[in-house]
Amino acid sequence: MSKILLERIEKLETRIVNEKTFLNEMKKIGIEKLPYAYSAVDRFINKETMDVHYNKHYKGYVDKLNKAISKRRGGDKELEEIIKDISKYNKKIRDNAGGAFNHALFWKMLSPEQQKCSGDIYDKITIDFGSYRDFKSKFEEVAKKRFGSGWVWLILDNNNKLKVISTPNQDNPLMDVVKGGGYPLLGLDLWEHAYYLKYLNKRDDYIKNFWTVVNWKFVNKLLNSKLPKN
């Protein structure tokens, strides 16, 4: 076999390997970069908690999800697509897809800059809950009633109404297994790992302090992307 032919074969083999690697990378669910320093929301959650929460729990969900979906045919779906059709998947994918999706949203829902609820989300809250104060009370009430691990959510339901609901474990309101769900606009992680290093067993204080870090600009952006355009 000539040297030129051998070189061509080698180049072709290298190209095939690279394409396979590229395709595999494309199928992987990415890790959202934390948009601020670990200590940036210290008035709500301390640096140590954010470090463990982001690097151990969140990245762990993403890694386990990628391993689980790599074994399935058609495992190259976007994370939101997987969440919406979660009934088609097993419990391992449900748990880890929920953990990956919920946390990717959660980081963006927190802001180092203290913000006041305003704009379209404030107007919508006033219409659907009666007042911002009533909404806060409802959100905190539902959060406190969640027994064990889970989340509390402000969602936009299928009738374009705001609602507060709670989901167990890492379930998300977008999942087709969640009754009365909708699109999540704001969520609070109620798992012990999200607060225990700072608050110990005082979960009510953690829930109360959440309002000091809500990224209302991001919530407004989500709301406006889902409301019908006039």
pLDDT per residue as tens digits for the range 57-96: 999 999 999 999 987 755 568 899 999 999 999 999 999 9
Helix%, strand%, coil% for the chain, nearest 5: 55, 10, 35
Question: What distance in Å separates the CA atoms of residue 94 and residue 156, rounded to the nearest whole number?
Answer: 22
Query: pTM for the complete prediction?
Result: 0.85
Nearest to 71 by CA among 32, 17, 20, 24: 24
Please tell me the CATH code under which domain 119-226 is placed: 3.55.40.20
Average pLDDT over the chain, rounded to an integer:
90
Q: CA 117, 121, 125 angle in degrees (round to 5)?
A: 90
Greater confidence, 24 or 123? Answer: 123
Q: What is the pLDDT of residue 17?
A: 43
pLDDT at 31 over 60: yes
Q: What is the pLDDT of residue 27?
A: 46
φ, ψ at 153 (rounded to 5°)? -135, 145
Q: What is the pLDDT of residues 124-142, one digit of tens each?
A: 999 999 999 999 999 999 9
Six token digits for residue 205: 């204080």
Sequence spans of domains, the chain? 119-226
Question: What distance in Å separates the CA atoms of residue 154 and residue 117, rounded to the nearest whole number?
Answer: 14
Q: What is the pLDDT of residues 99-133, one digit of tens each?
A: 999 999 999 999 999 999 999 999 999 999 999 99
Question: Residue 228: which pLDDT band, with cuts at 50, 70 and 90?
Answer: confident
